[in-house]
Amino acid sequence: MMNMLLKSKHDEQEESHWLSVSDLMAGLMMVFLFISIALMRNAFIERDKIKQVAVAYQENQIAIFQALTDEFAINLDKWDAEIDEVTLTFTFKSPDVLFKSGKYDLSSQYKELLHNFFPRYMQVLEPFKSSINEVRIEGHTSSPFGKATEDDAYFGNMALSQGRTRSVLNYIYLLPAITDHKDWVKQHLAAVGLSSSRLIYKDNGKENYKASRRVSFRVITNADIQIKRILQEG
């Protein structure tokens, strides 16, 4: 009888022990569930914020492209220029008008063109300044000629393309018509020489040497900066 009583008591203690463990596990599962829900909620909030930035970025890109097109549509053929909707790049494609071969001094024709173009360009960008991170003046050359090594030719063309963009930046910066924009230009315009790194090819796969030699104004918006800020704040 005594043994039976002891066994019964032992069974009750063991059952009580497993009930406690079971309750503890259930509680932990609930805690993990709430943590998971909270994390998922935060992830969805961040996703929605990034989506909003992406939508705003796309709408802003379209608005800038449309504003540039509205302003300069009548000039594009005369200037042999084009505007790329995806990259917001305004490209002048007539190297013979822009610079003499191998030189980075602006031609009188190019000065006249920039005198007309850049003040209007700044007026178009005025409503979008808060969303613009940088405007790059990008200089491009064709692939190198001559007997120089590939590396020497590449860096020679790098110096040429860089010199050309600096000449452009120097000229437009001193234009009286952009005096009110000078501080913004100083902070947001960059002269970038890209040498022959981004060649343009014909349909037959051969390089289009004339098209490869060009100068572009490229608008870079700050959507990526906004996304990084959202992720950091999250």
Query: Per-residue pLDDT tens for 207-224?
Result: 777 777 788 899 998 766
Distance, CA of 138 to CA of 90 (rounded, Å):
10
Task: Please report the pLDDT score of residue 105 as a whole number.
Answer: 79
Classify residue 99 by its DSSP letter: B
What residues pair up with 106 in beta bridges, in sequence order?
99
pLDDT under 70 in the chain at which residues? Answer: 1-28, 30-34, 36-57, 95-96, 99-102, 145-148, 223-234
Task: Please report the pLDDT score of residue 20 as a whole number.
Answer: 59
Task: Please report the pLDDT score of residue 88 as a whole number.
Answer: 93
Starting from the edge strand earliest in sequence, which strands make up the sheet with 214-221, in order?
81-84, 89-92, 214-221, 132-140, 189-193
Answer yes or no: are the C-beta atoms of 130 and 187 closer than 8 Å: no
Averaged confidence pLDDT in the chain: 77
Query: Per-residue pLDDT tens for 91-141?
Result: 988 766 776 666 777 888 888 999 999 999 999 999 999 889 999 999 887
Amino acid occupying residue 81 = A
